[in-house]
Chains A and B, each alone.
Chain A
Amino acid sequence: MNTELYKYYIIERGHHSFRKDCGKSLAEEYSSQGLSVDERMCRRFEEMCREETPHIHPAEKIVLVRTVKKLPDILTPKEWEKIRSSHYIHELGYVSNLCPDYEKAISGGLLKLRESADTFGKRVIDAITGLCDRYRAEAEKQNRTDIAEILSRVPRYGARTFREALQMFRILHFALWLEGDYHNTVGRFDQYMYPYFRRDMENGTLNEETALELIEDFFISFNKDSDLYPGVQQGDNGQSLVLGGTLADGSDGFNKLSELCLTASRELRLIDPKINLRVSSETPLEVYVKGTELTKAGLGFPQYSNDDVVIKGLTDLGYDEKDAVNYVVAACWEFIIPGVGNDICNIDGVNFPAVTDRAIRRALSEKPVTENSDTLLGYIKSELETEIIRLTESKKNIWFYPSPFMDLLRDGKKYNNFGLHGSGIAPAADALAAVEKYVYNDKTVTPERLLAALDTNYENDPELLHLLRYEAPKMGTDDDRADRLGTYLLNVFADCLKGRKNSSGGIWRAGTGTAMYYIWHAEKTGATADGRRAGEHYGTNYSPGLFTVTKGPVSVINSFTKQDLSRTINGGPLTLEFVSGLFRNEESVEKVATLIKYFIDRGGHQLQLNAVNPEALRDAQKHPERYRQLVVRVWGWSAYFVELDKEYQDHVLARQEYTV
């Protein structure tokens, strides 16, 4: 590892001292000149390229670092208000969560793209090329002939070597952020970079060691400016990189470069780039073992996705097979297509426990209550339909800032689909399972009793709280009574969106992700029939309810792989948390790897594994409700951390200090 570079950029953040504010306020100036928004975006980009000061660290091989902190607005508050009042604005209004076609630019160079670009496209190319020329001059001044030589090739012309290709990527990615686009993903890095890597390895200009060094320098570049990128939390910046996966000819894409990327991420332990690994039932165990070695590092990487399910799901939704095979993940876990996509995969989310609760209350308020749960299940459909109409109808007349640079890197806007998250699917299924069992089948709880408990947040009925919270069937315990209803909810979700067109002419996609809705939705949702009190949070993404007493990760996997997940393929993983100490030797790494293979073989769509660190454990002591799935190794067995007595927890903590 290049420790000097790591120390400078990551530990000391030495480059922050070169940062400055952009002294200009552009909005008023542009407004007074009556410029179009397209002109303004282009001008600001040119302006920002000029404002940048080349800065090269002696130890680095991949250059370009931001020195201007914040992009100035291009619209006055009044102009912005006007646009907002007549349009739907998605998040910040800039294009985001897309995966451009880096390959084309890396191989052909920007001058090639310039030939077919419009005026704005030509101008942004000239602007970024101008900045790179100033970097070249700076490199010459510092006697860095290696860098100067590379910059005399890229970005104007196509890359010839692996290092040129990495530098070219850095320039493209830098330009996207400088344009204002965000959550700029990385895509199938080990595929589009492979030709350069292989050539250099074959002709001997690169060996495994020097390649790894280059990759690590390159990975560090994702962390140089990331604090300037917009996001809900620091680190929420969408720099997702995808490794492995099926290729167009049906073969497996996991290669030597994929492997080196896993190693680089494991050695650096940086939160960017975020590593994703595409696998399928054909993937050999050794690939999972390599992935698990990275999981052990405690970063929560790699996130796995299952080609068998995702490609089928995307094809079923109408994506061309060749595009579906090429899928990548957006910022978190949404499946998108590189180069041709314009999907808004996170436009809103359905609050499943709230929808389910409305249906339950409606069914239980009827006099007399029906004999079986069929009526209730029917109400789920109509309540969900109502909610989906509400959510989808409001997403009309969407407005985005123009994105001349991004537009250079995509071949049209072939897909214009919108994705809806689904929060709290497991607690919603649990609530239905509880009502089905106790009210309809066993008839041991009367509708009046349940409704009264829901209305008083269970204050009046602690015995019912205990029953529904801890004894009722739950998703995550491999109980068909609940899992079946999870299946039902997902199918209804998919059915409800089927055939529905969005305002951009695309379709709607159903998903199992929550983003931040596991908190936002949960906090405004009252007590629910799964024994959840008002405001209590849901699990993240497609995971068990927080107070579900699961029997272990195997039952959890069984519960969450019974559904046909190809129908709800907007994305959203099952999350399993393990304590780092669990991966104590090669044998246990292989056992965890086998568990992942088991998940994929059973038809799971996406999986996130965490090896949790002591900070998280300490937090778990304060907030056990957030860490119900956290598995720890106590000595010869595994346990749920929050179920352990304090002294056990303290011991695990003390031990983790030195085993991590």
Chain B
Amino acid sequence: MNGIIFDIKEFSLNDGAGIRTTVFMKGCPLRCVWCHNPEGLSPHRELFVKTKGCVHCGLCKKSCQHPECQGLGRCLHICPNNLVSAAGEVISSDELAKKLLKYDRLYSLSGGGVTLSGGEPLMQPEFCEELLLKLSKISTAIETSGFADEAVFRRICGLVSFVYMDIKLMDPQKHRTYTGVGNSQILENAKWLKKSGIPHTFRTPLIPGITDTPENLSAIAAFVSGDSWEKLPYNALAAAKYPGVGRKFLYSPENPGSESLESE
């Protein structure tokens, strides 16, 4: 079957053991105000324009006949600086597995493998399952928010060698305010993961004024209770890609209380 991805990163060094290739799956049910991958939010193919280097020649705005450009409002095949693209590639699990397995020699040499990231990979569970079965000979990992139906969560986690799962906020109301969804399902899945025997690490992005408060961090510490837990620094570059996909970045670390959830 087909899935939709928005990037494949080679030689990814911090998404698990060894040298890995990371697949970014498109579509996410959360709307974290600090998200640094806005092109991964929508589950649909969309226009993605890089603004740096644009000389405003206007060539991309002229109408064209390419079927793949229709509906995007721009021509993808004319920018002299290659700034106009579509985020979202529909790809079959076969083809994707073939691409990823091309480097199996490097994975075995380095103890690496493939990491599924996003977006939220669990938004495409059947695709993930098919893909992971095809990658069963190599090490696989997943990076997930844990926001998924428990059956889906357990099935996919059971297919990977390692799980990276976010615990962002312990307070259900704050979780809803800053990520757009509640955290009860996430915490239930996390509890299961803790007991599952599947190797895992919990991760908390340190968002100034939101997740990095002493109350939140001590609540998470109590929750993970001795399991592996990484705190990831805030990515100050998060805003840059938003205009490229026609979205607004509303969070500001200087004034973290002022943002409201962005509308689509």
A561-617, CB < 8 A from B: 582, 587-588, 591, 594-595, 597-598, 601
- B9 contacts A552, CB within 8 Å? yes
- B79 contacts A466, CB within 8 Å? yes
Q: Is B236 positioned at the interface, with any CB of A under 8 Å from its CB?
A: yes
Q: Nearest Cβ in chain B — how far from A633, in angstroms? A: 8
Identify which of B104-112, B126-134, B188-196 touches chain A.
B104-112
* Residue of B10, B51, B105 contacting most chain A CB atoms (<10 Å): B10
Closest to A593 in B: B110
Q: A549-B82, A635-B233 are in contact. Are A595 and B11 (CB under 8 A)?
A: yes
Q: Is B31 positioned at the interface, with any CB of A under 8 Å from its CB?
A: no
A627-653, CB < 8 A from B: 631, 633-638, 643-648, 651
- B13 contacts A638, CB within 8 Å? yes
* Residue of A478, A638, A645 contacting most chain B CB atoms (<10 Å): A645
Identify which of B14-22, B86-94, B144-152 touches chain A.
B14-22
Residues of A within 8 A of B103 (CB): 554, 558
Q: How far is the CA of A597 from the CA of B112 in the complex (A)?
A: 14
Q: How far is the CA of A371 from the CA of B103 in the complex (A)?
A: 36
- B106 contacts A647, CB within 8 Å? no
* Cross-interface CB contact of B102 among A466, A478, A633, cutoff 8 Å: A478
Residues of B within 8 A of A651 (CB): 236-237
Interface of B is mostly: loop
* Cross-interface CB contact of B239 among A463, A471, A555, A647, cutoff 8 Å: A647
* Cross-interface CB contact of B51 among A547, A554, A645, cutoff 8 Å: A645
- A598 contacts B10, CB within 8 Å? no
Q: Is A526 positioned at the interface, with any CB of B under 8 Å from its CB?
A: no
* Cross-interface CB contact of A555 among B10, B12, B13, B232, cutoff 8 Å: B10
Q: Is B78 positioned at the interface, with any CB of A under 8 Å from its CB?
A: yes
* Cross-interface CB contact of A647 among B15, B22, B110, B240, cutoff 8 Å: B240
- B82 contacts A554, CB within 8 Å? no
Q: How far is the CA of A644 from the CA of B36 in the complex (A)?
A: 13
- B77 contacts A637, CB within 8 Å? no
Q: How far is the CA of A75 from the CA of B78 in the complex (A)?
A: 59
Residues of B within 8 A of A643 (CB): 50
- B52 contacts A637, CB within 8 Å? no
Which of the four size classes fits the interface of chain B? 35 or more
Q: Is A7 positioned at the interface, with any CB of B under 8 Å from its CB?
A: no
Q: How far is the CA of A594 from the CA of B105 in the complex (A)?
A: 11
Q: Is A93 positioned at the interface, with any CB of B under 8 Å from its CB?
A: no
Closest to B77 in A: A466
Residues of B within 8 A of A646 (CB): 52
Q: A551-B8, A635-B235, A646-B52 are in contact. Are A591 and B110 (CB under 8 A)?
A: yes
Q: A551-B10, A636-B14, A637-B12 are in contact. Are A648 and B79 (CB under 8 A)?
A: no
Residues of A within 8 A of B240 (CB): 644-645, 647-648
Q: Nearest Cβ in chain A — how far from B32, in angstroms? A: 15
- B105 contacts A466, CB within 8 Å? no
Q: How far is the CA of A635 from the CA of B13 in the complex (A)?
A: 10
A454-481 vs B: 1/0 string, CB under 8 Å?
0000000011011101110000001000
Q: Nearest Cβ in chain A — how far from B112, in angstroms? A: 8
- B9 contacts A638, CB within 8 Å? yes
Q: How far is the CA of A644 from the CA of B51 in the complex (A)?
A: 10
Q: Is A506 positioned at the interface, with any CB of B under 8 Å from its CB?
A: no
Residues of B within 8 A of A645 (CB): 50-52, 240-241
Q: Is A553 positioned at the interface, with any CB of B under 8 Å from its CB?
A: yes
Residues of B within 8 A of A549 (CB): 82
Q: A466-B77, A466-B78, A645-B51 are in contact. Are A554 and B237 (CB under 8 A)?
A: no
* Residue of A553, A554, A637 contacting most chain B CB atoms (<10 Å): A637
B101-123, CB < 8 A from A: 102-103, 105-106, 109-110, 112
* Cross-interface CB contact of B78 among A463, A553, A587, A588, cutoff 8 Å: A463
Q: Nearest Cβ in chain B — how far from A593, in angstroms? A: 9
Residues of A within 8 A of B235 (CB): 634-635
Q: Is B72 positioned at the interface, with any CB of A under 8 Å from its CB?
A: no
Residues of A within 8 A of B110 (CB): 591, 594-595, 598
Residues of B within 8 A of A558 (CB): 102-103
Residues of A within 8 A of B239 (CB): 647
Q: Nearest Cβ in chain B — how far from A62, in angstroms? A: 40
* Cross-interface CB contact of B109 among A467, A551, A598, A636, cutoff 8 Å: A598
16 intermolecular pairs with C-beta atoms under 8 Å apart: A462-B59, A469-B82, A470-B82, A471-B77, A558-B102, A594-B109, A595-B11, A595-B19, A635-B233, A635-B237, A636-B232, A637-B15, A644-B240, A645-B51, A646-B52, A651-B236
